[in-house]
Structure 1
Amino acid sequence: MRNHEVTEFQPLLDAEGRIREPGWARKPVWKYDRSMIKAAKFRIKEWDYYLVMNEDYAAAFTLSDDGYIGLQSVSLLNFKEKWEHTETILKPFPMGKMKMPASSSEGNVVYHDKRLRLEFRAERGKRMISCDFKDFYQGKPFFCEIALEQPRMDSIVMATPWQGRKAFYYNQKINCMPAEGYMSFGDVTYWFSPKTDYGTLDWGRGVWTYDNTWYWGSGNGTVGGKPFGFNIGYGFGDTSAATENILFYDGKGHKLDDVTFHIPEGDYMKPWTFSSSDGRFEMEFEPVLDRSASLSAFLISSDQHQVFGRMSGRAVLDDGRFIELKDFMCFAEKVHNRY
């Protein structure tokens, strides 16, 4: 059954290290246990990624243990001035030493070296991001203290295999978390207000195949006085049981079928379009800033284009109501990784 919703609490993996019940859920019903994974430790990938943004600026934070490489990064993006900077620290062979929590709802992740202190803390109904990055860019430091409120609401949780492999993708994305706090770079301070600004969490655990291309898009805002967000994407394993395409409105998830990204060949800054198999997500996208990055180290290579811009079009809720978007700030990306 396509878009199979899983509601029963259960272990994620069976005795052979394969997903017991592939599908999607509104909350984490699968229990992740690293000791049940049957792949080599260097193939296990665990990450927490936060994006906090508004109409004018954004920041992204990653803490990850990708087996034979640890990747910790911070991005600062200024949409008005059309610039961004990403600073990444690589550490070889963490192999589980990061001790990433087995649950998205509790536990802390802390990274600390001579140059970077980055902490993610999960508390009841709230998430805290704290960062102190020395010599972040142009000799200037970056600091932030940001709180994300997490009210009771649906999220999108995915458990998908790679066909014929003991590889799997277990992921939760939480949209529409009101953001409050500040970040500073040099002598400029950027403020977030929970009345208008939101954060997103991308929490992932799994075993990936070596060569992957994925597409992901996400946005949050206030529409008709209510929080509205969306998550769209594909390329994360075998999605025959479910896709991760979903709309969020006033705390409730409205599941979509397939969404296709139409990216202009050779130029990510030209207008994109998005179409959907069920006709419920039809959008035009005007790029503002391409956070492009390429990386080559050891056995790893990455070509990333995370494009921030403004979405306009129509989304349809489960009950047939239309959500009209006009210049809705969000991002969409295409990423090709060998890792």
Structure 2
Amino acid sequence: MTAPDPSVAPAEPPPAPAARERELTAPVSLTLPNGRLNPAAVGFARSPLVDTSGIAGRRGWGRNKRWEYWNVITPTHIMALTISSLDYAAVHEVWVFERATERTWGHGATVVPARDVVLPGSLGGGIAIAHAKDLAITVTPAGDGEVWRLHAAIPGASFDITVTRPPQHDCLAVVVPWSTRRFQYTVKDVALPATGTLTTDGVRHDVPSGSWAVLDHGRGRWPYDVAWNWGAASGTLADGRGIGLQVGGRWTDGTGSTENGVVVAGVLHKISTPVVWRYDLAAPLRPWRVTGGGLDATFTPFYDKRSKTDLGVFASRTDQCFGEWSGTFAWTGADQVRHEVGFAELVGFAEDVHNRW
């Protein structure tokens, strides 16, 4: 599977701009009493307003997908954890990357049938827990979701990270409707300050200020075969304001929803236009380009975290590249004035994923 060469224009025109998405401003249930998508939940929000407690149990069994993914980038290391339940299997991972040497510590577990996994019905509704051979993860929310404690341990590596949401800091929460039976609620929370400790082979490393966390919280009922792009980055503008990038693609095409937005100084600027991705999956360490909706960004990778699993019914192929984002973002504010920011060397990632699940 090869994505378009970044130096060549797409063979097909980019998707037509989506209509402006509805903004959700009050709590709402993702599902109706019969388990189908609640039309009132379709839209985006700046905080996690959607109740997803209806995603679990026997209703829609096999299509229910629930997960918490956290990524933390420090000046010296990158850490990630995944807790997930796919109904018939629990799939977890802990991964640590040392940026100077490109040494990695990692361990994944696929548990069939799913067991020893706890995921709250809705974001912040309780502790998320995963236990498997040689792997232990807990994600503990506090302060109404303003603080998160991330604990993870595998052979050779462990970390204890505290993530703090700054006051009045927007996330991007989106309900993506494929149909009344297939839909997804995702919360992408970027540019979250992180502190704590990491231990590798008995050596302790502090996680200093200037480290950033990204959350991907997901609850939904998915098609069996799906592919997506996802990219995110966090950092600081030249004037000292924080910035977070959040872009996606392919899996939202044709739904009227996107998971695209830029957070500047804690304020989300939603991009309802599907962005265009240009990159070469045969050479993933070449620059990637993402454009549309006021965003013109180049991603320059320095490492490709490649993984592949094929268990028959369940299969996954991922190229998650880490690197630096640079570019510009322009938007029209509520004051009807055009604003533009330039950014450079924002460390983050971009990925190409294909799942059969």
Note whether the superposition's TM-score is higher than 0.5.
yes
1:225 alignment partner, SS class: coil
2:22 alignment partner, SS class: coil
Mapped to 2, the partners of 1:91 and 1:302 lie a distance apart of 15
Greater Cα shift, 233-242 or 175-184: 233-242
Q: Which residue of 2 aligns with 1:262?
A: 278
* Alpha-carbon offset, residue 84 of structure 1: 3.4
1:285 equivalenced with 2:305 (yes/no): no
Q: Which residue of 1 aligns with 2:326?
A: 312
* Alpha-carbon offset, residue 264 of structure 1: 1.7
Mapped to 1, the partners of 2:253 and 2:24 lie a distance apart of 16
The gaps in structure 1 that reach 5 residues or longer are 136-140
Q: Residues 109 and 121 of structure 1 are in contact (CA less than 8 Å); yes or no, is this contact kept in structure 2?
A: yes
Alignment of 1:162-177 (within 5 A): 162-163=178-179, 166-177=181-192
Q: Residues 107 and 121 of structure 1 are in contact (CA less than 8 Å); yes or no, is this contact kept in structure 2?
A: yes
Q: Deviations over 1:265-306 (max 9, x none)?
A: 511011111111x3x111122110001100112411111001
1:330 equivalenced with 2:344 (yes/no): no
Q: Residues 107 and 135 of structure 2 are in contact (CA less than 8 Å); yes or no, is this contact kept in structure 1?
A: no
Greater Cα shift, 41-50 or 318-327: 318-327
Greater Cα shift, 283-292 or 16-25: 16-25
- Alpha-carbon distance change, 175 to 189 in structure 1, aligned in 2, over 3 angstroms: same
Q: Deviations over 1:9-53 (max 9, x none)?
A: 222112441232311111122211226888532221110000000
1:103 alignment partner, SS class: coil
Mapped to 2, the partners of 1:285 and 1:160 lie a distance apart of 26
1:200 equivalenced with 2:214 (yes/no): yes
Mapped to 1, the partners of 2:332 and 2:142 lie a distance apart of 32
1:101 alignment partner, SS class: coil
Q: Which residue of 2 aligns with 1:249?
A: 264
**One-letter amino acid of the counterpart of residue 217, structure 1:** G
Q: Deviations over 1:129-167 (max 9, x none)?
A: 11222x3xxxxx21111100122311000111214x611
Mapped to 1, the partners of 2:149 and 2:332 lie a distance apart of 33
- Alpha-carbon distance change, 268 to 80 in structure 1, aligned in 2, over 3 angstroms: same
1:47 to 67, 78, 84: 67
* Alpha-carbon offset, residue 56 of structure 1: 3.3
**One-letter amino acid of the counterpart of residue 25, structure 1:** A
- Alpha-carbon distance change, 53 to 307 in structure 1, aligned in 2, over 3 angstroms: same
Mapped to 2, the partners of 1:232 and 1:66 lie a distance apart of 24
Q: Deviations over 1:249-273 (max 9, x none)?
A: 1111011122111012511011111
The gaps in structure 2 that reach 5 residues or longer are 1-18
Q: Residues 79 and 288 of structure 1 are in contact (CA less than 8 Å); yes or no, is this contact kept in structure 2?
A: no
Mapped to 2, the partners of 1:268 and 1:179 lie a distance apart of 28
2:127 alignment partner, SS class: strand
- Alpha-carbon distance change, 85 to 262 in structure 1, aligned in 2, over 3 angstroms: farther
Q: Which residue of 2 aligns with 1:138?
A: none
1:217 to 231, 239, 257: 231
Mapped to 2, the partners of 1:37 and 1:307 lie a distance apart of 35
Mapped to 2, the partners of 1:221 and 1:86 lie a distance apart of 26
1:295 equivalenced with 2:316 (yes/no): no
Q: After TM superposition, which residue ranges in structure 1, 4 or more long, deviate above 6 angstroms?
A: 35-38
1:228 equivalenced with 2:243 (yes/no): yes
Q: Deviations over 1:65-108 (max 9, x none)?
A: 1111101101112232234343101101227x633111212310
Q: Residues 53 and 122 of structure 2 are in contact (CA less than 8 Å); yes or no, is this contact kept in structure 1?
A: no
Mapped to 1, the partners of 2:283 and 2:137 lie a distance apart of 34
Mapped to 1, the partners of 2:121 and 2:324 lie a distance apart of 35
Task: Report the TM-score, using the length of structure 1 for normalisation.
Answer: 0.90
Q: Deviations over 1:223-270 (max 9, x none)?
A: 121221010002334554321111111111011122111012511011
1:131 equivalenced with 2:189 (yes/no): no
1:183 equivalenced with 2:203 (yes/no): no
2:26 alignment partner, SS class: coil
- Alpha-carbon distance change, 265 to 15 in structure 1, aligned in 2, over 3 angstroms: same
Greater Cα shift, 249-258 or 36-45: 36-45
- Alpha-carbon distance change, 26 to 219 in structure 1, aligned in 2, over 3 angstroms: same
Mapped to 2, the partners of 1:300 and 1:314 lie a distance apart of 39
Mapped to 1, the partners of 2:318 and 2:56 lie a distance apart of 31
How many residues align structurally? 328
Q: Which residue of 2 aligns with 1:72?
A: 92
Amino-acid identity (%): 24
**One-letter amino acid of the counterpart of residue 351, structure 2:** E
